[in-house]
Amino acid sequence: MNKLFLLILTTSLSLTSVLKAQDKNYYDDSFLRYDNYIYKDSIKTVQLFRDGWRDGFPLINLNSAEQLVLTFEDLSGLVENYAYSFVHCDANWEPSQLMPMEYLEGIQENLINNYEYSGNTRQQFIRYTLRFPNQNIKLTKSGNYLLKVFDMQNDELVLTRQFFVVENRVNVNFDIKRATQARYRHTHHEVDFSIQPGKYNLTNPYTDMKTVILQNHDWQGAMHNLEPTFVKSTELVFNYDDRNLFPGLNNWRFFDTRNLNYIAENTRDIEVYNNRYNVFLEQDEPRKIKQYLDRGDINGGYLIRNDDRRLNDILEADYAWVHFALPYPQELKNGNLYIYGELSNWRIRNEFKLKYNSRTGQYEKKLYLKQGYYNYLYMYTKDGSDSGDLTFIDGSHAQAENDYSIFVYHRQNSDIYDRLVGFNSTSFPR
Q: Which residues pair with 211 in a beta bridge?
A: 408
pLDDT at 244 over 80: yes
Using a pLDDT cut of 90, give the percent of the chain over it: 84
3-state secondary structure (DSSP) of residue 18:
helix
Q: What is the CATH number of domain 171-248+401-428?
A: 2.60.40.10
- CA of residue 161 relative to chain centroid, distance: 9
Which pTM does this prediction carry? 0.90
Decide: 113 and 136 in contact? Cβ < 8 Å: no
CA distance 96 to 118: 39
CA distance 218 to 213: 10
Residue in 132, 142, 133 with CA at minimum distance from that of residue 168: 142
Which CATH number, 2.50.20, 1.10.520, 2.60.40, 1.10.3470, labels domain 3-166? Answer: 2.60.40
- The residue with greater pLDDT, 112 or 430, is 112
Q: What digits encode the pLDDT tens for the residues 48-94?
A: 999 988 888 999 999 999 999 999 999 998 999 999 999 999 999 99
Decide: 107 and 113 in contact? Cβ < 8 Å: no
What pLDDT sits at residue 28?
62
Domain boundaries, the chain: 3-166, 171-248+401-428, 253-394
pLDDT at 285 over 60: yes
3-state secondary structure (DSSP) of residue 115:
strand
What pLDDT sits at residue 16?
38
**Common-topology check for domains 3-166 and 171-248+401-428:** yes
Q: What digits encode the pLDDT tens for the residues 199-224?
A: 999 988 999 999 999 999 999 899 99
Q: What digits encode the pLDDT tens for the residues 173-198?
A: 999 999 999 999 999 999 999 999 99
Q: What is the pairing mode between strands 276-281 and 335-340?
A: unpaired
